[in-house]
Structures are given as structure tokens and as C-alpha cells.
Amino acid sequence: MTKEKHQIEVRASRSALKLYQSLLMGEWKLDTVRQTVALLLALLRSGGVSLSFRWETRSKQHRKIKKVPVPDFASDGFRERLEELNEQADLPDVPQSLPSRRTTENIELAQLSTMCGALLDVQTIVDVRGDDGFLKDVQSLLVATCIHELLPELQAKGLHDEHDLLVNLIARHLVIVWRNEPGQFFFLQGSLLEYLGNRDHAGAALEAAFRATPPDAHEYLTRAQAVWSYFIEEGRLGDAEELALRLVRSVREDDLAEATGLLRDTYGYVHRQASG
């Protein structure tokens, strides 16, 4: 019999919303990860949950998520993409335990990694209500900043066990929280796959994210730009041009200038290729 999860109701204050926007739009650094962690901890406290951490060697076995559950209502195309990702996900092995770190810098990095993993795993412990959508948005920011900032730093400092565990916890988070929202699931999956060096499959995931996003969604242009950048970097100028033309016809009026800029940049790349 499955144990019913404790239900909490989180509330986002104006200051929390303002901080989130500032972190999202600002230059990402390792401190952005720390501030995002602090924001998530504050959100959980608003729901009566205070997380505490014991900084000691852990020997608990961590479960590796290898398969992405396919929702019953998934369309044939979405089901096919999930099944492909099940074959493509090249996650590192989960460490059996985490070693003690000696230098202050490494101890702080290891602790930050532990907090990130715990905060991405919240939905396995509690049923979040209230401003749960905002909490998920902040978790997405945490995923993105971990991929861009924390994971490379863990690798650079030789904290490979912490790195590998966090990669798996990010993948677990995507399965648990976003599997029924394909646009965000594939967008974050693409970022993780690209970080892991699986560039072709990352591009396929980004394309799937864009296809799953309606033109009136506020993420539409952002996801289109990610796909466009992938096409340009891969030299797929025809695909980039087709995408830019589609955007000019489909984006909201507020985004038309940016879409037109992508089309102009695309023609610039085409011209340089023809001239070179």
C-alpha cells in the first residue's frame, strides 16, 4: 500500500517573485545557484517545511532512474520520443556513497550539491499545493543553473561522485515533475543531454520541446531560439531559415522584432556561407 504524502501549501511573496525574475534574467554564476537554493528553502518554509542537512559521509544506496515513464495518454509521437530518450540517456553511475571532503571550498561545493539534489526531489516527499507552479519554475531555474554552473565546477574540482549523483537527481526530477508537460520536459532534457555530450540527441530533444509549445506560450520564442542556435551551430542553415520564417508568421506581436532579428541573422549566415 502506497503511503500518502504529506500535503503542503506554499505561497510566493512579491519579494520572492522579484528575486526569481532577477535571478532568471541576470548573469548566471555559482552564486546564482546558492541564491536559487535559498529561494526554494524560503518557499518550502512558507508551507511549513524546513529542510535540515547533516553534513556527514553518506552510505545510502541511491536509486538510478534509467527509464522515463510514458504517460498513458501520450500521443504516438510523444511516446516515440520518450522511448527514444530511454535509449539515449547516458547517465553516469550513481555512487554508492559520498566521500568526506577536506578543503573548505570542496566541503561547501559538496554541501551545495546535496542541497540542490534534495530540493529537486521535494515532490517525492510532499504533495505541493498553492503556488506549486512557481515552485516548479524555481526548480527549473535550479536545474538550468546547476547544468551551466555547478556541475562543471564539481567536475573541475574533482568532486566526481557529487557530480554524478546530482546528474542522476536532475534526471529523476525531470521524470517526476515534468513528464506530463512535454515542452518543459524536453527542453530541460535537451540541456542535460547537451551537457553530457550527447549533442545530436540534445538537439532532437530541443526540437521536441519547441514542437510541444504553442505559439501563445511565453516560452515559445525562448525554445525556438534554442533550436535555431542548434541549427546554426550544426550548419543546418536551411532548417534555421525555415524556423525563422515560421516564427515571423506565428509569434506574438511583442516578440516580432526578435523573430525578425533571427531571420535577418539567418540570412547573414547564408550570405557568408555563399561568399566563403
Could you read off the pLDDT of 12-57 as tens digits, one per residue? 999 999 999 999 999 999 999 999 999 999 999 999 988 877 654 4
* pLDDT for residue 84: 57
Local confidence band at 139 (pLDDT 50, 70, 90 cut-offs): very high
Q: Domain map of the chain by residue range?
A: 1-50+65-200, 213-276
The 10 Å CB-count burial string (b at 16+, else e) for 88-105 is bbebeebbeebeebeeee
Instruction: Give the span between the Cα atoms of 140 and 202, in whole angstroms.
Output: 17
Q: Is the pLDDT of residue 60 over 70?
A: no
Contact by Cβ (8 Å): 112, 150: yes
| Beta bridge partner(s), residue 129 | 9
* Total-model pTM: 0.83
CA–CA distance from 165 to each of 95, 107, 144, 175, 221 (Å)?
7, 16, 16, 15, 32
Local confidence band at 2 (pLDDT 50, 70, 90 cut-offs): low
Q: Which grid coordinates are listed for 221?
A: 520564442
Find the farthest-apart pair of alpha carbons in the chain and give their distance in angstroms, rounded.
68
* pLDDT for residue 80: 63
Q: Round the CA-based radius of gyration of the chain to a whole number and report it.
A: 20
The total of other beta-carbon atoms located within 10 Å of residue 258's CB is 14
* pLDDT for residue 268: 93
CA–CA distance from 115 to each of 16, 17, 28, 100, 105 (Å)?
19, 21, 18, 16, 16
Q: Is the pLDDT of residue 244 over 90?
A: yes
pLDDT digits (tens, 9 = 90+) for 189-231: 999 999 999 888 899 999 999 999 999 998 999 999 999 999 9
Q: What sign does the CA torsion over 50, 154, 191, 85 have?
A: negative
